[in-house]
Amino acid sequence: MSKSGILTVFGNREAIQLAAVAEARQVYIDVVIRPALSCPPGAARLDALLDSWLAYLRAEVFPGGCFVSATSVEFGHRTGPVADAVRNLKKEWLDLLENEFSVAGSPDPAEDAFRVDAYLCAGNTRRELFGTDAGLERARTLAGRVVENYRT
């Protein structure tokens, strides 16, 4: 389909971008979050989230790696509905991590969620920059150490 054909369907560029964010959100839920929901809340679910996130990146679902990481950087300084949708997507992810750390018994769920998210974003960046999974493996190891504090 041509660009003009796509614009005819969606109406304008913003509508296309909003639809893309909505679709990417659904993919993220289906591929990263939903598989982990079968695990008990807390540390077990956090481990499952890390594993499914790693599988999501290895499957190369989106060019540029993790859609959430890539678009957070691209739209972080912008305003408008698309930037708001990207921010909401990132906030949902961080809230999920915080909630799971809270259930796991973390004294500071926000800090632990921040650390895990930082490791995952760094792993994604290294994979995209250097074309190897070494950064992903390191990110999983470091994020796993944060979770390890709460395994019973």
Name the CA dihedral angle for 127, 129, 131, 133, rounded to a multiple of 10 degrees: -20
Which CATH number belongs to the domain containing residue 115 in this structure? 1.10.357.10
Q: How many domains does the chain have?
A: 1
pLDDT tens per residue across span 95-132: 999 999 999 999 999 999 999 999 999 999 999 999 99
Range of the domain at 122: 3-148
65 pLDDT band (50/70/90 cuts)?
very high
For the cut 80, the answer to whether the pLDDT of residue 5 exceeds it is: no
3 pLDDT band (50/70/90 cuts)?
low
Beta carbons of 49 and 100 less than 8 angstroms apart:
yes
pLDDT tens per residue across span 14-34: 899 999 999 999 999 999 999
Identify how many contiguous H helices and E strands the chain contains and give both numbers.
7, 0
